[in-house]
């Protein structure tokens, strides 16, 4: 995977798509993949909660040897029975519980006193029984709330996970911009180091020819040493910033690949067209949290409320001396059946009432609602501030471009005046420093501008579209 990624990076150099290639590497990183796993875990948790009401098939076997006293003498006989049963059941969140059961029993009555019960002379009988049972909570149905709580929990986990992913995406974007800034500042340091060295050589030759003073040569040498020192600092900062982005994506990025980087200004209006304004993810996460807490409160109240349950059943059976006959009689237009319907009203007496739990849920809900109100005001302010900053940086870029142009012309002019013996060498050094500062400011303004753009995209839930649209 690492070598494939490097091949993609090399192929992207000609198209200047360094960011998009590194972004592709980021999407294969452990940071990105772990967030994907969290999302899959949330889906899995929801499936687990919803699948608890899947169809269930149960098989049972029962052996019974009874000789209990009974109201009727024919029932107070020693009876040995072996029963096999198959039951298919289905719990639903909204429509109650269904079950269908089929059982077959072999009843041994060889020890019966036939004089007390003379309906058969057989030593054994076969019973086949079929039952259809339905149960539904008319009042106080907790099952419906179980599904609602599971879905609300999933929505909260999903929103929270998306918020964290968005924060990680923003951190990646900022880390890339920081590395990009250091790349350009490093190039600038190298360029001005070369200029300082050439200037020192020129002044040294003029000094030897008697055209420049020794103090001017020493000034040039001091300027060269300062440029070397600044280059060392720049090299260190570049390595540190590249190490940060490498740690995030889990890949090595050779410094030579940054040579293809370009940094061009794009108008704010163009960016706003490419970054759709969406809902703030922190706001959506709080909304999901409120919805979940309200459902938990409703579930708590339902558990503590009265319950009215409807139970209905229909049963058929047949006793014969043949299993096949019993099966046929119990299923094909059965003569023996039983129908039952009941209503059960349950009133909790408060033995397990937890007042503190309810108070905690109410406090959590109130706290989250207050956070929502505060966040709404903060979002308006933050968006206004960011838009002001973006407009300020856009104007600053134009001013800095003009400043760079003026500084470049001043450097040429000061060098020309100095060589003609009209200007001072101090003015030459000062003009070089002003040009360095102007060009450095240009890159820093671009950095501040695009960093604010990332903050704006994150604020409006659009950091992903920004990452997809960003080119260098």
Convert 211-271 into a string of H (helix), E (strand) and C (coil): CCCHHHHHHHHHHHHHHHHHHHHHHHHHHHHHHHHHHHHCCCCCHHHHHHCCCCCCCHHHH
- Angstrom distance (rounded) from CA 48 to CA 233: 55
In-domain check, residue 353: no
In-domain check, residue 222: yes
In-domain check, residue 369: no
Kindly state whether residues 429 and 405 are assigned to the same domain: yes
Place of tokens 């029975």: 81
In-domain check, residue 355: no
Provide the 10 A C-beta neighbour count for residue 376.
12
Kindly state whether residues 387 and 256 are assigned to the same domain: yes
Kindly state whether residues 325 and 420 are assigned to the same domain: no
In-domain check, residue 300: no
In-domain check, residue 372: no
170 contacts 454 by C-beta, under 8 angstroms: yes
| Secondary structure of residue 318 in the 3-state scheme | strand
Q: For the chain of 472 residues, list the mean pLDDT of each consecutive stretch of 10.
A: 46 62 90 88 84 82 75 60 88 85 85 59 81 88 85 93 95 95 94 92 89 90 92 93 90 78 92 91 94 89 83 89 83 84 83 69 89 92 96 96 95 91 90 94 97 96 94 84
In-domain check, residue 224: yes
Count of domains for the chain:
2
Kindly state whether residues 397 and 259 are assigned to the same domain: yes
Going from the C-alpha of 389 to that of each of 92, 392, 438, the distances in angstroms are 55, 5, 20
Buried b (16+ CB within 10 A) or exposed e, 357-375: eeeebeebbeebeebeeeb
CA dihedral 471, 282, 452, 389 (to 10 degrees): 140
Distance of CA 341 to the CA centre of its chain: 49
Kindly state whether residues 220 and 251 are assigned to the same domain: yes
* Neighbour-count burial of 74, counting CB atoms closer than 10 A to its CB (0-12 exposed, 13-18 middle, 19+ buried): middle
Q: What are the counts of helices (DSSP H) followed by strands (DSSP E) for the chain? A: 11, 6
In CATH, what number is assigned to the domain containing residue 177?
1.20.1600.10
Kindly state whether residues 330 and 461 are assigned to the same domain: no
181's CB contacts (< 8 A; 6+ apart) are 241, 443, 444, 446, 447
Say if strands 55-66 and 79-91 run parallel, antiparallel, or are unpaired: antiparallel
Residue range of the domain that includes 80? 57-91+95-140+307-347
Kindly state whether residues 464 and 391 are assigned to the same domain: yes
In-domain check, residue 365: no
Kindly state whether residues 20 and 169 are assigned to the same domain: yes
Kindly state whether residues 82 and 165 are assigned to the same domain: no
- What's residue 374's pLDDT? 93
Kindly state whether residues 159 and 246 are assigned to the same domain: yes
Say if strands 337-346 and 124-139 run parallel, antiparallel, or are unpaired: unpaired
127 has which bridge partners?
105, 319
Taking Cα atoms as reference points, which of 186, 236, 173, 177 lies closest to residue 439? Answer: 186
Taking Cα atoms as reference points, which of 301, 300, 329 lies closest to residue 316? Answer: 329
| Secondary structure of residue 344 in the 3-state scheme | strand
- Angstrom distance (rounded) from CA 216 to CA 427: 11
Kindly state whether residues 15 and 33 are assigned to the same domain: yes
Q: What angle do CA 46, 168, 49 make, to 5 degrees?
A: 5
263 contacts 443 by C-beta, under 8 angstroms: yes
Kindly state whether residues 312 and 404 are assigned to the same domain: no
């Amino acid at each position: 995977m690492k070598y494939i990624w490097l091949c993609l990076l090399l192929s992207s150099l000609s198209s200047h798509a360094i960011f998009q290639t590194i972004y592709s590497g980021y999407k294969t990183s452990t940071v990105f993949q772990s967030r994907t796993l969290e999302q899959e875990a949330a889906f899995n948790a929801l499936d687990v909660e919803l699948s608890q009401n899947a169809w269930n098939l149960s098989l049972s076997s029962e052996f019974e040897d009874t000789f209990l006293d009974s109201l009727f003498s024919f029932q107070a006989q020693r009876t040995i029975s072996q029963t096999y049963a198959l039951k298919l059941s289905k719990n639903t969140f909204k429509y109650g519980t269904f079950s269908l059961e089929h059982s077959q029993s072999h009843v041994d009555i060889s020890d019966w006193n036939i004089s007390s019960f003379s309906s058969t002379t057989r030593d054994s009988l076969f019973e086949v029984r079929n039952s259809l049972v339905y149960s539904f909570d008319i009042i106080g149905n907790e099952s419906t709330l179980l599904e609602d709580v599971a879905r609300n929990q999933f929505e909260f986990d999903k929103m929270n996970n998306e918020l964290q992913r968005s924060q990680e995406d923003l951190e990646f974007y900022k880390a890339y911009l920081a590395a990009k800034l250091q790349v350009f500042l490093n190039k600038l340091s190298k360029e001005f180091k070369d200029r300082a060295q050439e200037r020192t050589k020129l002044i040294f030759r003029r000094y030897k020819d008697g055209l420049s003073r020794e103090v001017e040569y020493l000034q040039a040498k001091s300027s060269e040493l300062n440029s070397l020192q600044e280059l060392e600092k720049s090299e260190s900062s570049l390595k540190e910033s590249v190490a940060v982005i490498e740690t995030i994506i889990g890949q090595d990025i050779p410094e030579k690949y940054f040579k293809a980087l370009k940094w061009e200004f794009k108008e704010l209006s163009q960016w706003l067209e490419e970054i759709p304004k969406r809902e703030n993810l922190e706001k959506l996460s709080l909304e999901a949290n409120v919805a979940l807490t309200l459902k938990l409160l409703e579930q708590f109240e339902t558990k503590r409320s009265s319950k009215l349950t409807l139970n209905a059943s229909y049963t058929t059976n047949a006793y014969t001396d043949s299993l096949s006959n019993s099966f046929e009689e119990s299923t094909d237009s059965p003569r023996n059946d039983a129908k039952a319907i009941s209503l059960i009203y349950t009133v909790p007496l408060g033995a397990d009432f937890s007042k503190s739990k309810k108070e905690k849920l109410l406090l959590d809900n109130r706290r989250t609602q207050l956070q929502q109100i505060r966040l709404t005001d903060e979002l308006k302010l933050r968006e206004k501030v960011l838009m002001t900053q973006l407009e300020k940086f856009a104007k600053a870029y134009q001013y800095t471009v003009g400043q760079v142009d003026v500084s470049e012309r001043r450097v040429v002019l000061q060098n020309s005046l100095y060589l003609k013996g009209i200007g001072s060498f101090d003015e030459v050094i000062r003009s070089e420093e002003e040009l360095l500062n102007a060009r450095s400011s240009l890159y820093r303004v671009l950095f501040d501008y695009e960093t604010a753009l990332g903050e704006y995209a994150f604020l409006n839930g659009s950091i992903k579209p920004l990452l997809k649209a960003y080119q260098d």
